[in-house]
């Protein structure tokens, strides 16, 4: 088993770290929130006073941070790379801008460190169950080294290409997810406004040409799926502001490549409008409120 430093113990990072402990790895953890560190320490991890202490002697360093600025600050501004053993493998699971991933990977390579970007898909449920999908950018050899660690936290692992490619693929996936969730919410709201039962309509769509992940596994209408955040007050899951961040990354990428993403931009505007109503911490499926609250 490996000696692993895990930095970033939020809604996704904490359960991922728990699964590494369950698999028998020795974890040293750090987060800016003391309670998060204490929770992992209670599960058997060693608590570090700061990130530099966490990576000392680690064979693998895993980070799960909110945004590009946090990743660049940790690895570049704070120069965490200098504290990591040259033989260690660095895995960044944050969802960030591809250019940021490439910048950090280049800095790691200059120091002789192997690094991959490995953003995840699957939400908090997948993080807890250990069934996440990892979308990896970086060298094939580094991915092979990472496989025993990633397999403790995920079920599907894809190699998208060189450094930053994992981020590009993740951004494309989440842009489509945002579009699908907004469209599904719109369709359900229209049906309910016309007297249809949302469960019946969802069942029809799930077996028809409009079927998608939202209708089948993550329905945005309260009461349709007991396990979905919609039936739990939209608590937990993948936050509105996180989806808005990812749609913003898609817009940035589109500008840099002169790509046209009219539906992606529309979804970003819808989520921005939704977030402005104070819903940023709710699950992203709460976008249905844009339609139902207005109708009410």
Q: How far apart are CA 263 and CA 123, in angstroms?
A: 23
Per-residue DSSP letter, 283: B
The burial of 14, by beta-carbon neighbours within 10 Å (0-12 exposed, 13-18 middle, 19 or more buried), is given as: buried
Q: Which of 22, 155, 170, 289 is catalytic?
A: 170
Q: Which residues pair with 63 in a beta bridge?
A: 7, 92
**Strand segments (E) across the chain:** 3-7, 26-30, 46-47, 60-63, 89-92, 114-117, 120-121, 132-137, 154-161
Q: How far apart are CA 25 and CA 93, in angstroms?
A: 18
Neighbouring CB atoms inside 10 A of 129's CB total 15
- Whether 294 is a known active-site residue: answer no
Q: Is 25 helix (H, G, I), strand (E, B) or coil?
A: coil
Point out the residues that are catalytic.
Answer: 170
């Amino acid at each position: 088993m490996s000696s692993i430093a895990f930095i970033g113990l939020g809604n996704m990072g904490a359960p991922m770290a728990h699964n590494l402990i369950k698999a028998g790895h020795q974890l040293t953890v750090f987060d800016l929130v003391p309670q998060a560190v204490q929770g992992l320490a209670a599960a058997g991890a060693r608590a570090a006073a700061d990130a530099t202490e966490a990576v000392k002697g680690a064979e693998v360093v895993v980070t799960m941070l909110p945004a590009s600025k946090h990743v660049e600050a940790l690895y570049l501004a704070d120069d965490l790379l200098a504290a990591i053993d040259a033989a260690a493998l660095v895995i960044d699971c944050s969802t960030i801008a591809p250019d940021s991933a490439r910048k950090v990977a280049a800095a790691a390579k200059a120091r002789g460190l192997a690094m991959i970007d490995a953003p995840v898909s699957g939400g908090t449920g997948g993080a807890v169950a250990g069934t996440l999908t990892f979308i990896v950018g970086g060298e094939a050899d580094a991915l092979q080294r990472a496989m025993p660690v990633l397999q403790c936290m995920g079920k599907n692992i894809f190699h998208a290409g060189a450094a930053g490619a994992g981020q590009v693929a993740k951004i494309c996936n989440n842009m489509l997810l945002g579009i699908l969730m907004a469209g599904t919410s719109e369709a359900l709201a229209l049906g309910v406004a016309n007297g249809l039962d949302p469960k019946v309509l969802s069942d029809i769509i799930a077996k028809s040409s409009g079927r998608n992940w939202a209708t089948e596994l993550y329905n945005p209408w309260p009461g349709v799926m007991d396990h979905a955040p919609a039936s739990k007050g939209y608590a937990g899951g993948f936050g509105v502001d996180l989806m808005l961040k990812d749609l913003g990354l898609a817009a940035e990428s589109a500008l840099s490549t002169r790509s046209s993403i009219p539906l992606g931009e529309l979804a970003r505007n819808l989520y921005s409008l939704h977030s402005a109503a104070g819903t940023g911490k709710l699950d992203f499926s709460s976008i249905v409120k844009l339609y139902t609250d207005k109708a009410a």
